[in-house]
Structures are given as structure tokens and as C-alpha cells.
Amino acid sequence: MVLLHPFLLVACLGDDAPDPPATGGDPATTDTAAPVTDTASDTATDTAPPEDQDCTVRFALLQKDAYSDLDGRNQPLWPPHTTTAVEFICLGANWDYETLSNHGTDYTELASNGDFWLEVVDTSDELPVSRTTLDALRAAFLDCNCEAAGDYVSLSAITDPGVQDLLDALADFTNTHLSCVDGTMGKDVAAWLEDGDIESVLGKIQQCNLGGLDWGDGFRAAVEAIGGAPEVLHTANNDAILQAEWYAAWEATGVVGTCDGSAAVCRDTTWFNGGY
């Protein structure tokens, strides 16, 4: 499996894909679900059969619009939050999973309307594995993150004071650069950002442009404006790219490696509008 360019938007799960774990259906379309574990951990209960039985594994990317109160991925121009999962099934068991929420939305977390917050944006091919290999994949995956690279910029906690400062700085960027075909002014969109009204922003930006820039440029400028260094900060999307590249390396080589949390991919506040 070749890892696609991280800024390439890809298709969702096909109709013939098997049911993912815990939900009994596609998280993007199923209304309700019960997590397979009652703990606060991202690690699901191990229900796999003895290690002499064969298993199947796949990697999944799930996203929602950053800071939005709407579930799923609705505006591809806007940066997402990305959660990842290693999903697996072994003979005689149901689909199960390990997931990394990457400082944000959990795999089975539900919005107030009862739908999943996260939308499945891509999965890898399913591959047969031994139970021994599956256990090694699960352990290595849960230790795969960008923590060693430096500080983290949240894409979920809109009430966090740091995020409020970030949105205020993004509002200044918007006021300077944004123009819209319907006459909406940059200052109007800037006011929505300052108020945390992300839904109004998302509903408008399709009709606007940033003078040759994009929202990734805006977020980078905002990080720098509040005293950060965007070339050394990371977001959930940096973690997700690291995790996707780690899984793709195992697919290509058959060797379960470890993640380098200080790698270059863990820096530079990446916006992962893409897939596996």
C-alpha cells in the first residue's frame, strides 16, 4: 500500500467494507454505538482467540472539522482533527480495535445528535496476520506519537485559553486577507472566529478566498502571532501522519517497526486533509 500525499482528499469506505468494531456499522452512518470498554483508556478489551488462529487487520483514519460542533468532515478547505485506529478480527471473534485519539475526539465518541463525531475518511486494505504479529502491531501502534517532538496545538478544545488566543490571531489574518464573492467582509468572518462560531465560518469559506493563501497558512500565521514556532509545534494531524506512515512501512516490509516521535513529520503544524 502506497501512502497517499497527506493533502489529497480520498474516498470514504466502500459499500462492501465489513463492519468496523464496536459499532455494528460504519461510524460515519451508524446512529448509536456502545464502546467495547468502559475504561477511559483508548485500548479496547482484548477479545481475540488463541494465537494459533488467523486474524485480519486494517488501518483506519477518522476525521472531523477542527473546533466544529458538527459531526464529520464537512468542509475540506478547513483543517481537520484526525484520529486513527488499527482494526482487527480473529477467527471466532468480532471486529475489535486499538485507537489513538491524538489529544482529541475518541473513536466511538458521539455528538449530541447521536451520530459519531468522527467520519471514516479512509482505510487500508485488509491483510491476514498471525496473532503474534497482530499483538506486536497493537503494542507498537499504541506507542506511536509525536510527544517527543515538542509542544502540541489542540484542534479540539475550543474553550482552551490557548485556542482562544489562536482563533483571535486567525481572525486578524482573516480580516487582512479574506474576500468573498457575495460581499461578506473579512471582518465579518473574523468576528465569527473571535466568537468561536466555527459553523458560520465553515458555511461561508467556500465562497471566499485568501488572496492565494489557504487556511493552513492562516493557522501557521496565527501560531506565530501568539508567540509559537509553527515549524516545531505539532497537531493531531502530525501524529496521524506518523501513525499512517508507520503502518504503511509494516505493509511494505512485513517488519513491525517503532515510531520515531522526533521525526520531521512530527513538526510544522500539518493539516492532514488526506488519507492513507
Stretch 139-167: mean pLDDT, rounded?
Answer: 80
Higher pLDDT, 23 or 68: 68
pLDDT digits (tens, 9 = 90+) for 208-232: 888 888 887 888 788 788 777 666 6
Question: CA 206 to CA 224: how far, in whole Å?
Answer: 25
Stretch 112-139: mean pLDDT, rounded?
Answer: 94
Stretch 58-77: mean pLDDT, rounded?
Answer: 89
Confidence of residue 50 (pLDDT cuts 50, 70, 90): low
CB 83 within 8 A of CB 122: no
Higher pLDDT, 83 or 159: 83
**pLDDT higher than threshold 80 for residue 150:** no
Nearest to 223 by CA among 149, 148, 173: 173
The whole-chain average pLDDT of the chain stands at: 77
In the prediction, which pLDDT does 66 show?
84
In the prediction, which pLDDT does 101 show?
92
pLDDT digits (tens, 9 = 90+) for 158-190: 667 777 888 888 899 888 998 888 878 888 888
Any residues with CB less than 8 A from the CB of 50 and at least 6 apart, and which? 131
Highest-pLDDT range among 37-41, 124-128, 157-161, 214-218: 124-128
In the prediction, which pLDDT does 217 show?
82
Confidence of residue 80 (pLDDT cuts 50, 70, 90): confident
In the prediction, which pLDDT does 237 show?
87
> Which amino acid is it at 24?
G
Higher pLDDT, 114 or 225: 114
